[in-house]
Amino acid sequence: MSAVIQPGAVAPATAMASGDDARAIVFDGQGAVPLGRFMAQVRGVAATLPAGCHAINLCEDRYRFLVAFCAVALRGQTSLLPPSRAPAAVDEVLAQHPDSYCVGDGPLSPAPARYVQLPAMLPERDGAMPLIADDALVAVGYTSGSTGRPQANPKTWGSFRRSTAQNLAALADLWADPGHACVVATVPPQHMYGMEMSVLLPLLGPVAVHAARPFFPEDVANALHHAQAPRVLVTTPVHLRALLASDVSLPPLRAIVSATAPLPAEHAALAEARYGCEVREVFGSTETCVIARRRTSCETAWTPLPGVRVTPQPDGASVQAAHLSAPVALADLVEVHADGSFELRGRNADLLEIAGKRASLGDMTRKLLAIPGVEDGVVFQLDGEGVRRIAALAVAPSLDEAAILATLRRAIDPVFLPRPLRCVPRLPRNETGKLPREVLVALLRDA
């Protein structure tokens, strides 16, 4: 299916990017890149890409990811966004799509098959703003694998366009100037949250995004200093916790946006007090994109975005929205209030029943993290027949396993105490702070 609209096609089409040629789409310490130059480089790179139906975008630099994503769409191809850029994950996606090639912004060792490295100086080509058909399949995102094998989720341009309009409406009150906002994002663009907040927002809204993906607190601070006000930090609970634990100072922020994992209310309140801005948590998934928002420091219920409806189901929830072609089932258990807002009551897969007693893996993880001296941790269930064992991994340099278990005994019913519980130097969190289940099991085995 061609992404660029063809004469005689019936699907509606819209511009690949919005705004005039002079508006900034990306910035860094060297200055801003205007939309006109960005589109010239998109056309130039598109002319150099190989034939095929799919391209795996491995670019680390956010600007080059944006260029490659748009160039692939301009060629009528689909961007594949694996859950990880680890060679094994890339090879698995390549095996599923033998007609695909990889595009990146630097040398890789080992390099995947059919690897195209973007040149240091991106080529440019003049032309009109491309129009993309709403039914064009522009991306395939993959779930993180935190609850099992990563699953593919196709995304059309029309669904991206409609979900981005919802996101812009939900975030617009975070900046006073309706024509401008500068985003610094710590999440990779390959992740759906990163795609929505750091790729689609600058493409389709009055937003410029920093070209880098800062990781350490000092890097985040430097990137924010490159931004003009109003500044918005798009991040995760893991990165926000690292910022709060550091003594780094940040320039004035208009807002902090968080997703990918539950954000503790106390962390949200501390961040609001320290940085003088609202912390807004958004809720979504690879399957649905962002569907709800809340101010976590003072709200427990989620407010659905305009046009989104969440309905409880026996084993989860059903989501209906304008950007979804059909209702999407989620494993999250919800309690829906009369005004349509909802509260999460855990995930169906997280609920345990042993000896007639019930518990939640998420709640047990929160109790583990509440132990003084535990810096990071997770409780999960092992595969097996019959009653499956509960296990835990903890990062606690000043504690041993016996001390952690002794504290947990005061907060958790004995039938749910994790055995084994292992102390490890760090948890194998991915770029968005999630913990792939297969990696957890391997780490437990080797600990």
Q: How far apart are CA 269 and CA 305, in angstroms?
A: 23
Residue 221 lies in a domain: yes
Q: Quickly state the pLDDT bin for 4 (edges 50, 70, 90).
A: low
Domain end call among 299, 314, 343: 299
The answer on pLDDT for 7 being more than 70 is: no
The answer on pLDDT for 177 being more than 80 is: no
- Verify that 295 and 359 share a domain, yes or no: no
The answer on pLDDT for 150 being more than 80 is: no
Identify whether the C-beta of residue 14 lies closer than 8 Å to the C-beta of residue 134.
yes
pTM (2 decimals)? 0.84
Question: What is the average pLDDT across 132-151?
Answer: 82
- Choose the weakest-confidence range: 18-22, 353-357, 432-436: 353-357
Domain count, the chain: 2
- Verify that 199 and 292 share a domain, yes or no: yes
Q: What's the confidence (pLDDT) of residue 126?
A: 96
Residue 332 lies in a domain: no
Residue 120 lies in a domain: yes
The answer on pLDDT for 5 being more than 80 is: no
- Verify that 292 and 398 share a domain, yes or no: no
Q: How far is CA 422 from each of CA 399, 427, 435, 441, 444, rounded to the nearest angstrom? A: 11, 11, 16, 12, 7
Please write the tens of the pLDDT for every residue from 72-111.
999 999 999 987 777 878 888 888 898 999 999 989 888 8
In the block, which residue shows the tokens 């320039």?
Answer: 251
- Verify that 373 and 267 share a domain, yes or no: no
Higher pLDDT pick, 227 / 176? 227
- Verify that 248 and 384 share a domain, yes or no: no
Higher pLDDT pick, 150 / 421? 421
The one-letter amino acid code at 190 reads Q
Q: 117 forms bridges with which residues in the sheet? A: 104
Please write the tens of the pLDDT for every residue from 351-404.
776 656 667 788 888 889 989 999 999 998 887 544 578 899 999 999 999 999
Domain end call among 251, 273, 299: 299
Please write the tens of the pLDDT for every residue from 333-343.
899 999 999 99
- Verify that 203 and 62 share a domain, yes or no: yes
Q: What's the confidence (pLDDT) of residue 138?
A: 97
Q: What's the confidence (pLDDT) of residue 353?
A: 65
Residue 326 lies in a domain: no
Q: Quickly state the pLDDT bin for 176 (edges 50, 70, 90).
A: low
- Verify that 53 and 146 share a domain, yes or no: yes
Residue 177 lies in a domain: yes
Domain end call among 299, 314, 341: 299
For the record, the structure tokens of 18 come out as 């919005």
Q: What's the confidence (pLDDT) of residue 305?
A: 94
Q: What angle do CA 41, 47, 51 make, to 5 degrees?
A: 135
Q: What's the confidence (pLDDT) of residue 178?
A: 60
- Which of 165, 1, 189 has the alpha carbon at shortest distance from 81? 189
Residue 61 lies in a domain: yes
What is the 3 state secondary structure string of the chain?
CCCECCCCCCCCEEECCCCCCCCEEEEECCEEEEHHHHHHHHHHHHCCCCCCCEEEECCCCHHHHHHHHHHHHHCCCEEEECCCCCHHHHHHHHHHCCCEEEEECCCCCCCCCCEEECCCCCCCCCCCCCEEECCCEEEEEECCCCCCCCCEEEEEHHHHHHHHHHHHHHHHHHCCCCCCCEEEECCCCCCHHHHHHHHHHHHHCCCEEECCCCCCHHHHHHHHHHCCCCEEEEECHHHHHHHHHCCCCCCCCCEEEECCCCCCHHHHHHHHHHHCCEEEEEEEECCCEEEEEEECCCCCCEEECCCCEEEEECCEEEEECCCCCCCEEECEEEEECCCCCEEEEEEHHHEEEECCEEEEHHHHHHHHHCCCCCCEEEEEECCCCCCCCEEEEEECCCCCHHHHHHHHCCCCCHHHCCCCEEECCCCCCCCCCCCCHHHHHHHHHHC
Q: What is the CATH number of the domain that holds 368?
A: 3.30.300.30
The answer on pLDDT for 2 being more than 50 is: no
Residue 91 lies in a domain: yes
Q: Quickly state the pLDDT bin for 145 (edges 50, 70, 90).
A: low
Residue 5 lies in a domain: no
- Verify that 256 and 115 share a domain, yes or no: yes
Q: What is the CA radius of gyration of the chain?
A: 22
Quote the domain boundaries for residue 216.
13-299
Q: How far apart are CA 367 and CA 433, in angstroms?
A: 19
The answer on pLDDT for 347 being more than 80 is: no
Share of residues in the chain with pLDDT > 70 (%): 92
Q: 334 forms bridges with which residues in the sheet? A: 344
Q: How far apart are CA 365 and CA 245, in angstroms?
A: 20
**From the centroid of its chain, how far is CA 413?**
34
The one-letter amino acid code at 131 reads L
